[in-house]
Chains A and B, each alone.
Chain A
């Protein structure tokens, strides 16, 4: 089963290496990993999608918590949460095809972010299923290049996975 973990880490050098190294060393499979700064400049948030049964997940979270730079690990899979991925796709688009592609963009609420002589670059956000459908719809036109972020996620409503009272001057 796939699990979505949100991992708060100290924004210190090498922290990504520590986390990624832990996954490879212990043979855990990462489906995707997205990382970026949070509302607190000293803290980054990683959203990690990992494949495994309950035992594997227990080990993943426990081993992550052992890392000194890891502040908090939450498995939000069973919670209500909003998850998004972002994809940028550059597709072949002769002037005659542009209209069709723009219709597809409309359906997926994607945006045209670049217009070339023979290409269109589209931006789309959504959950995994939507991104996959979007990609499939564009495929017949010829996807020249495609890039997507990993999943990022936040809990719905008034629930939080962040931490309070993190000192501003973190080591």
Chain B
């Protein structure tokens, strides 16, 4: 019997020279490719795989189908953060990934557990955030029978994941996990979902984690085309009025230093997309701030006047371009992006370069001539002084003032998570981010409720750093149940609710586009957030005037531990400037 087994091994496996011998004889080892390892159930193998991927924290919420994974997780060194709603788990993983640049991992059960993840997955897809999401599934024998808590989550998430898998065959589990992490983190990052039928999770497998992903055709291109890079250099060197339009791709490929060099060598002003904020120092004289819908006037005017637009890791989103046909009308455009499908999608490009923006910039920089562009920079300074960001400082508390004070007291170096709405745009305008990756915010999807769980994820990624959540009373009420998670995890988050007792951004839209017919935007009841904070044993503060803010803010920020600050802001305040719908980006409402 032994000999037969041995021959089978010879025939079907590559035999390593040294083996561990204290393994029980097994009936079959056809699936084993190398070293003998202890057999474990698939769920345990999954957790071991996460350990191999250096996952240190997972965010999740248990349920029947996923219990095998939870049972295995209990004895792992991986930290599990129990949230209060699955949306909190996926947003927290998302915030963690954005802050650290590592793959965020979250776990939920089948059915409603899985569907509650959908918004967070879509958010990660829109903003290119690397996530690996595990969902429980009913047993393979029941898949397709409308069993209790069964949904086709792989079907549901096809359009909002970079890829997804339903693992019915336990032999494919480990390779699938390896592939998922690889796909999520490389190229243009994105979420990858793995659906795990309960019976598969309980099947015994031998743990042997693959060393590399096995994918037939997925090979992100990193190096840009040599000829195109030369062409780009030529255009840049002869350009008189270049503008650099830099987006989230700079942060993802960690090309902030190269971007700064580029700007300084060629004396070109830099404007950021919302998602690109923090990739260029907010205080830098060449910085134009954000462009587009709520961008600075001078950024939009500079783009309008430039003769060369150097677009780096951006996707010409409609919030940036306004009316596409009128965007950067005098400019030739160089577009560098790792996703070939983004090049030429919305705007005609003269020099397309597919590649990792860091690698491309490193190749491009040596061919650039240090050029004096005094006339252009003078014009930029002129635009800055003609059309500065401004607001009317009054006796009531202005949201912009809150952000300015936060910026001043944290020296622009805190990690700022935001929700979605007016407060988010004021943050983008008035907090001048100094350190890469310090804004954690839902850009492409604009998902309210993102802020608190994402801040939790960011703080868990950087326990020592100051993490501040800037939110609104609307957004905060969407996921405020995660306060419990925050307290349970002992996180020292500082929460600032810019409270205008309404859905300010939507109200603003009704003001501008619906003749001030306000409907469904003004809350008739808003909870007392300070009492709410008390229920969670979080110190709470009401701040109603600019003076109160100035007096109390330093203490609030410097006291260790969490705080919730309810800032009663002027409810009439709008986010300005604002490019009007379907218009050229130079046509704005200013006051």
Query: Which residue numbers of A lie inside 8 Å of B, CB to CB?
Result: 10, 13-14, 17-18, 21-22, 25, 55, 58-59, 62-63, 65-72, 163, 166-167, 170-171
Report whether A170 and B216 are in contact in the complex, using a CB–CB cutoff of 8 Å: yes
Q: Would you give the shortest CB distance from B162 to chain A, in whole angstroms?
A: 7
Q: Would you give the shortest CB distance from B216 to chain A, in whole angstroms?
A: 5
List the 5 closest pairs (A to B, CB-CB), nearest first.
A62-B341, A68-B163, A71-B217, A71-B216, A62-B340
Q: Which chain B positions have C-beta within 8 A of A14?
A: 154-155, 158, 166
The A-B contact count (CB < 8 A) is 49
Q: Would you give the shortest CB distance from B365 to chain A, in whole angstroms?
A: 28
A14-B155, A72-B217 known; A55 and B172 CB under 8 Å?
no
Near A by CB (< 8 A), chain B positions 131-185 give 154-155, 158-159, 162-163, 166, 172, 175-176, 179, 183
- A170–B213 Cα gap in the complex (Å)? 12
Report whether A171 and B175 are in contact in the complex, using a CB–CB cutoff of 8 Å: yes
- A14–B143 Cα gap in the complex (Å)? 14
Known: A65-B340, A66-B339, A171-B175. 20 other contacts (CB 8 A): A14-B154, A14-B158, A17-B158, A25-B159, A55-B344, A59-B341, A59-B344, A62-B341, A65-B341, A66-B341, A67-B163, A68-B162, A68-B215, A71-B216, A72-B217, A163-B217, A167-B214, A171-B176, A171-B179, A171-B215
Q: Which chain A positions have C-beta within 8 A of B214?
A: 167, 171
Query: Which residue numbers of B lie inside 8 Å of A, CB to CB?
Result: 154-155, 158-159, 162-163, 166, 172, 175-176, 179, 183, 214-218, 339-341, 344-345
Report whether B216 and A10 are in contact in the complex, using a CB–CB cutoff of 8 Å: yes
Q: Which chain A positions have C-beta within 8 A of B340?
A: 62, 65
- A14–B155 Cα gap in the complex (Å)? 8
Report whether B158 and A166 are in contact in the complex, using a CB–CB cutoff of 8 Å: no
- A163–B217 Cα gap in the complex (Å)? 10
Q: Which chain A positions have C-beta within 8 A of B175?
A: 171
- A18–B166 Cα gap in the complex (Å)? 14
Q: Which chain A positions have C-beta within 8 A of B218?
A: 68
Q: Which chain B positions have C-beta within 8 A of A68?
A: 162-163, 183, 215, 217-218
Q: Residue of B at shortest CB range from A24?
A: B159
21 contacts between A and B (CB under 8 A): A14-B158, A18-B158, A21-B159, A55-B344, A58-B344, A62-B340, A66-B339, A66-B341, A67-B163, A68-B163, A68-B215, A69-B163, A70-B217, A72-B217, A166-B216, A167-B214, A167-B216, A170-B216, A171-B172, A171-B179, A171-B215
Q: Which chain B positions have C-beta within 8 A of A66?
A: 339, 341
Q: Residue of B at shortest CB range from A10?
A: B216
Q: Which chain A positions have C-beta within 8 A of B159?
A: 21-22, 25
Q: Residue of B at shortest CB range from A165?
A: B216
Report whether B216 and A13 are in contact in the complex, using a CB–CB cutoff of 8 Å: no
Q: Point out which of A25, A62, A68 has the most chain B C-beta atoms below 10 A from its C-beta.
A: A68
Q: Which chain B positions have C-beta within 8 A of A10?
A: 216
Q: Which chain B positions have C-beta within 8 A of A62?
A: 340-341
- A63–B183 Cα gap in the complex (Å)? 16
- A10–B172 Cα gap in the complex (Å)? 15
Q: Point out which of A18, A25, A63, A163 has the most chain B C-beta atoms below 10 A from its C-beta.
A: A18
Q: Residue of A at shortest CB range from B188?
A: A66
- A58–B163 Cα gap in the complex (Å)? 21
- A72–B176 Cα gap in the complex (Å)? 21
Q: Would you give the shortest CB distance from A59 to chain B, in whole angstroms?
A: 6
Q: Residue of A at shortest CB range from B341?
A: A62
Report whether B158 and A13 are in contact in the complex, using a CB–CB cutoff of 8 Å: no
Q: Would you give the shortest CB distance from A8 to chain B, in whole angstroms?
A: 8
- A31–B176 Cα gap in the complex (Å)? 34
- A25–B179 Cα gap in the complex (Å)? 26
- A55–B158 Cα gap in the complex (Å)? 24
Q: Residue of B at shortest CB range from A63?
A: B341
Q: Which chain B positions have C-beta within 8 A of A59?
A: 341, 344-345
- A9–B582 Cα gap in the complex (Å)? 39
Q: Which chain B positions have C-beta within 8 A of A167?
A: 214, 216
Q: Point out which of B155, B162, B183, B217 has the most chain A C-beta atoms below 10 A from its C-beta.
A: B217
Q: Would you give the shortest CB distance from A154 to chain B, in whole angstroms?
A: 20
- A59–B214 Cα gap in the complex (Å)? 27
Q: Which chain A positions have C-beta within 8 A of B217?
A: 68, 70-72, 163
Q: Residue of B at shortest CB range from A170?
A: B216
- A66–B214 Cα gap in the complex (Å)? 16
- A128–B219 Cα gap in the complex (Å)? 37
Q: Residue of B at shortest CB range from A58?
A: B344
Report whether B341 and A21 are in contact in the complex, using a CB–CB cutoff of 8 Å: no
Q: Would you give the shortest CB distance from A97 to chain B, in whole angstroms?
A: 47
Q: Which chain A positions have C-beta within 8 A of B162?
A: 68
Q: Which chain A positions have C-beta within 8 A of B176?
A: 171
